[in-house]
Amino acid sequence: MILHVANLDKFIPPFVKLINENFDGKKHLFCVLGNNKKYPIRQQNNLKISKPTLIGVVKHYARVFRDIQRAEKVILHGLFDIRLIILLSMMPWVLKKCYWIIWGGDLYFYQTPKPRKRDKIKEAFRSFVIKRLGYLVTYIPGDVALARKWYKAQGTYKECLMYLSNIVDDQLIKSTSQLNKSDSETIKIVIGNSADPSNNHIEILKKLAVYKNKNIRLIVPLSYGDKENAEKVISYGRQEFGDKFEPLTAFIPLSDYKGILKSIDIAMFNHKRQQAMGNTITLLGMGKVVFLRSDVTQWSLFRKLGVVVKDINEVDLFSRLEDDELARNIHIIKSYFNCKTLVMQYERIFSK
């Protein structure tokens, strides 16, 4: 039996569906903690959902404690939950059969300031567990290198795209065969993917200030994340760019959001760590010009794959990629970030 342990998030319902449609569901058990109303997931025989109530939490960890010892393999969907981490530290003998699907924030938590004693204690538990995990699952080798550097992780690297959010929509690629040549002379730029301060919006807006008198339109997704930061970004953006600054503050259905991404020319992600990969992959697959920081792990990944991305510290809106570069980007993204690759990677993880 392969045990999956997860907190319910937007990635989990489609993942459960993917596994049950492509593998023998009887060999998989999903132990999930979370609000089923926020992220609806169809009840199935191999799915155990616990509500985040006191009783629900107790039942969830009791089930995990029991089943994690019975399982042949354990798939840990992120390592954010300190209660799970403490539980794992109490069973060090199971860690060698654990596969840590690295989400990003669970790794980069290492960089978060820890002024309180209890934060340092939590980090000690995290270090103990991560060092001893048997397998590290991601498609970004740089994140594995950081896990080894920061936590002395010894696990074997397993390459995997992890979730369907990292799969580019083939229909979107087919509809962008003209490399998204815009009929408008306005340069449309999307900045960041949320209101979280990690987007470093104002830093990039300052870089773009030299273009404020040009024919540009700045589209800034701010519908979720830090509301206080969103207000700061909106205030600065409107003051500097006027009506050329367009914040997206209301929830947008995914299909509509992808329509917005399809209409833009340039994307700028100023995160100082691996983040917004679903958006980045989708945009590259659409043939868009993407700017990233050159010191983040996804920069190295794309360069290794042969995908051309631009350095956000060298912003030039009028220095575009050649058509053959955009076409090559589309081909590489389509060839690697697809469902067939994802299923094949999980076949390797489950069978060995």
In tens, the pLDDT along 227-268 reads 999 999 999 999 999 999 999 998 888 788 888 888 899 999
pTM: 0.89
Domain match, 327 and 184 both: yes
pLDDT at 177: 47
CATH (domain of 189): 3.40.50.2000
Instruction: Report the Cα 113 to chain-centroid distance in Å.
Output: 22
Check whether residue 33 and residue 156 sit in a common domain: yes
Same domain membership, residue 327 and residue 193: yes
174 and 283 in a single domain? The answer is yes
**185 contacts: CB under 8 Å, gap ≥ 6:** 215
| Residue 279: domain span | 170-336
What is the Cα–Cα distance from 322 to 206, expressed in whole angstroms?
27
Is residue 21 located within the same domain as residue 152?
yes
Q: State the DSSP H helix or E strand holding residue 136, giving kind and residue range, or none if neither.
A: strand 135-138
Q: 90 and 197 share a domain?
A: no
DSSP labels, 270-288:
--SSS--HHHHHHHHHTT-
% of residues, the chain, pLDDT over 90: 77
Residue 58: pLDDT above 50? yes
Which residue type occupies 312? I
| Averaged confidence pLDDT in the chain | 92
pLDDT (tens digit, 9 = 90+) per residue, 153-169? 999 999 999 999 999 88
- Considering the domain architecture, whether residues 189 and 298 belong to the same structural domain is answered as yes
Q: What is the structure's pLDDT at 173?
A: 73
Check: CB of residue 11 under 8 Å from CB of residue 37.
no
What are the tens digits of pLDDT across the range 81-137? 999 999 999 999 999 999 999 999 999 999 888 889 999 999 999 999 999 999 999
pLDDT of amino acid 225: 83
What is the rounded distance in angstroms from the CA atom of residue 348 to the CA atom of residue 350? 6
Compute the half-sphere exposure of residue 340: CA atoms within 13 Å on the CB side of its CA. 5
- The answer to whether residues 149 and 235 belong to one domain is no
Domains of the chain: total: 2
Collapsing DSSP to helix, strand or coil, 217 comes out as strand
Distance (Å, rounded) from C-alpha 142 to C-alpha 201?
24
77 and 216 assigned to the same domain = no
Residue 88 shares a structural domain with residue 232: no
Phi, psi of 197 (to 5 degrees): -60, -20
Q: Report the alpha-carbon distance of residue 159 to residue 342 in Å, rounded.
A: 10
Residues 178 and 46 grouped into a single domain: no
Q: How confident is the model at residue 174 (pLDDT cuts 50, 70, 90)?
A: low
What are the CA-CA distances from residue 154 to residues 96, 99, 133, 144, 147 (Å)? 10, 12, 7, 10, 9
| 269 and 314 belong to one structural domain | yes
